[in-house]
Amino acid sequence: MAENQNNGAPRGRRPVKFTFNISWIYILLMFGIGWMFFNQGGANPQKEEWAQVKKQWLAGDIKEVVFIRNEFEGRVTIKPDKLEKFSADFGGKLPKKSPHYIFLVSGSFNAEEMFEELNAQLPENEQVKVVIENHESFWGVLEWLLFPLLLIFMWVFMFRGMNRNMGGGPGGPGGIFNVGKATGKLAEKDSIKVTFKDVAGLYGAKDEVMEIVDFLKNPKKYTALGGKIPKGALLVGPPGTGKTLLAKAVAGEADVPFFSISGSDFVEMFVGVGASRVRDLFRQAKEKSPCIVFIDEIDAVGRARSKNGGFSSNDERENTLNQLLTEMDGFGSNSGVIILAATNRADILDKALMRAGRFDRQIHVELPDLKERKEIFEVHLRNLKLAEDFDVDFIAKHTPGFSGADIANVCNEAALTAARKNKTNIDKQDFLDAVDRIVGGLERKSMMMTSEEKKSTAYHEAGHATVSWLLPYADPLFKVTIVPRGQSLGAAWYLPEERHVSTKEHMIDRMCSLIGGRVADEIFSGQPCTGALSDLERLTKMAYAMVTYYGMSDQVGNLSFYDSNGSRAYEFNRPYSEKTAELIDKEVKELVDMIHDRTEKLIRENYDGFVQLAELLFEKEVIFAEDLERIFGPRAGAAPAEETPKEPEELA
Which active-site residues does the annotation give? 461
Interhelix angle 607-620/578-605, rounded to 10 degrees, is: 80
The dihedrals phi and psi of 222, each to the nearest 5 degrees, come to: -95, -40
d(CA 429, CA 74): 89
**Which helix (H) or strand (E) covers residue 76, if one does?**
strand 73-78
User: What radius of gyration do the chain's Cα atoms show?
Assistant: 41
Interhelix angle 607-620/504-525, rounded to 10 degrees, is: 70
The dihedrals phi and psi of 566, each to the nearest 5 degrees, come to: 70, 20
d(CA 637, CA 472): 4
d(CA 611, CA 603): 10
Beta-carbon contacts of residue 476 (< 8 Å; ≥ 6 apart): 468, 494, 495, 496, 497, 625, 635
The dihedrals phi and psi of 481, each to the nearest 5 degrees, come to: -140, 150
d(CA 457, CA 435): 22
Beta-carbon contacts of residue 94 (< 8 Å; ≥ 6 apart): 43, 83, 84, 87
Concatenated DSSP letters of 569-611: TT--S-SS-HHHHHHHHHHHHHHHHHHHHHHHHHHHHTHHHHH
Taking a C-beta distance cutoff of 8 angstroms, is the pair 103, 74 a contact?
yes
Beta-carbon contacts of residue 165 (< 8 Å; ≥ 6 apart): none
CA atoms within 13 A on the CB side of 423: 18
CB atoms < 10 A from the CB of 343, how many? Answer: 23
Taking a C-beta distance cutoff of 8 angstroms, is the pair 173, 167 a contact?
yes
What is the edge-to-edge ordering of all strands in the sheet holding 622-624?
491-494, 477-481, 622-624
**Which helix (H) or strand (E) covers residue 118, if one does?**
helix 111-120
Amino acid at 425: N
d(CA 613, CA 619): 10
- Considering only CA atoms, which of 108, 106, 120, 88 is closest in space to residue 49? 106
Could you tell me how many residues make up the chain?
652
The dihedrals phi and psi of 552, each to the nearest 5 degrees, come to: -100, 25
Q: Which residues pair with 340 in a beta bridge?
A: 233, 294
CA dihedral of residues 267, 273, 274, 279 (deg, nearest 10): -160
Taking a C-beta distance cutoff of 8 angstroms, is the pair 327, 278 a contact?
yes
Taking a C-beta distance cutoff of 8 angstroms, is the pair 247, 340 a contact?
yes
Long-range Cβ contact pairs of 576-582 (< 8 A, separation 24 or more):
580/556
